[in-house]
């Protein structure tokens, strides 16, 4: 166990706008302003998000990936991962070819961006979805017709195809736990999907907020992921859905459950979470998936999170040593 270390820290950098109709890019200046504030806070790793094919685009995807990657590298930053959106399987009676084409294209533009890891939700069915209820309905229809095991096998086959393309670009695929907010994403089914896919470059992104909202242990998720933990999305909440009987198989995310609070502002056991990271010798960046408005107080907010984490990090390691 690596007991004495400081984890590299990473924060999101917003690169897109969504107006309900199409995705557009933020200006170079808007992106640069965020990077400048993060640099002032002592951060050198970022997580861009939002480049994908699932919504109409007001720009050329490949050109945008190259351009944004150049801006990020110009300011001296590494990219911990790119958080994107894509289907993982098509209806099982249909061809999976289009899903695999989208996966291959995603590998290509993430590589152009400079992201060695891509993160996405594991249970999205193909097709245009106006809301998450459409995703629920598509999955439940397929599960009723073919069974969840067949869905997992089909999704795993598509992911293997994507992983093979990714391996050629030295790229990893991190599937995010989303609990019952989306299909194939809880502590029962997501590990089964990763195991079935059985590729060295397919692993996990552990989202602390999604786990804790449903009462799933964040440290347990980290230990379960082990050397396949490729990325973190750390934020906090008060476990509002722990022990709650859901009216259906899934539930929509809301601010009252998936609060996306600054770490330390909710009830996640962060000391145990850090211990779990140390126990598995996690060597990647610790990415905080929290929104920091790019205003005059942004620098102090970044520093507050960083200082808090360093205290928890040091205390956890002290407890291990004395322990």
Residue 235's alpha-carbon distances to 68, 211, 286, 287, in angstroms, are 25, 10, 11, 9
Query: What's the pLDDT tens digit per position in 294-311?
Result: 888 999 999 999 999 999
Q: Model pTM greater than 0.75?
A: yes
Angle between helices 132-146 and 148-168 (to 10 degrees): 110
Q: What is the dihedral of CA 311, 316, 322, 323, to 10 degrees?
A: 160
Q: Which residues contact 205 (CB under 8 A, 6 or more apart)?
A: 81, 119, 174, 175, 176, 177, 230, 231, 232, 233
Q: What are the structural domains of the chain?
A: 9-322 (3.20.20.150)
Tens digits of pLDDT across the chain (323 residues): 545 789 999 999 999 999 989 999 999 999 999 999 999 999 999 999 999 999 999 999 999 999 999 999 999 999 999 999 999 999 999 999 999 999 999 999 999 999 999 999 999 999 999 899 999 999 999 999 999 999 999 999 999 999 999 999 999 999 999 999 999 999 999 999 999 999 999 999 999 999 999 999 999 999 999 999 999 999 999 999 999 999 999 999 999 999 999 999 999 999 999 999 999 999 999 999 999 988 889 999 999 999 999 999 999 998 887 76
- Under a CB-based contact definition with an 8 Å cutoff, are residues 10 and 20 in contact? no
């Amino acid at each position: 166990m690596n007991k004495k270390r400081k984890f590299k820290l990473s924060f999101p950098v917003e690169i897109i706008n969504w107006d309900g109709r199409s995705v557009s890019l933020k200006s170079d200046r808007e992106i640069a302003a965020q990077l400048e504030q993060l640099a002032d806070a002592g951060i050198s790793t970022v997580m861009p998000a939002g480049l994908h094919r699932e919504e109409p685009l007001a720009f050329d995807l490949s050109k945008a990936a190259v351009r944004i990657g150049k801006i990020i590298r110009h300011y001296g930053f590494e990219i911990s991962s790119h958080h994107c959106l894509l289907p993982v399987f098509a209806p099982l009676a249909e061809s999976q070819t289009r899903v695999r084409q989208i996966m291959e294209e995603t590998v290509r533009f993430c590589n152009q961006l400079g992201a060695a890891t891509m993160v996405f939700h594991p249970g999205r069915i193909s097709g245009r979805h106006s809301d998450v209820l459409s995703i629920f309905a598509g999955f439940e229809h397929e599960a009723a017709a073919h069974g969840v095991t067949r869905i997992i096998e089909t999704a795993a086959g598509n992911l293997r195809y994507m992983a093979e393309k990714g391996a050629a670009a030295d790229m990893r695929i991190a599937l995010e736990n989303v609990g019952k907010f989306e299909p194939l994403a809880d502590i029962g089914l997501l590990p089964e999907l990763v195991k079935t896919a059985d590729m060295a470059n397919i692993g996990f992104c552990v989202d602390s907020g999604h786990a804790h909202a449903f009462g799933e242990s964040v440290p347990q998720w980290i230990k379960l992921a082990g050397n396949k933990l490729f990325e973190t999305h750390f934020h906090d909440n008060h476990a509002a859905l722990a022990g709650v009987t859901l009216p259906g198989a899934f539930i929509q995310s809301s601010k009252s459950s998936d609060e996306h609070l600054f770490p330390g502002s909710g009830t996640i056991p962060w000391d145990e979470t850090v211990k779990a990271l140390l126990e598995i010798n996690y060597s990647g960046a610790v990415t905080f998936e929290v929104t920091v408005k790019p205003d005059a107080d942004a620098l102090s907010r970044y520093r507050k999170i960083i200082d808090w984490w360093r205290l928890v990090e040091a205390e956890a390691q002290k407890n291990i040593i004395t322990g």
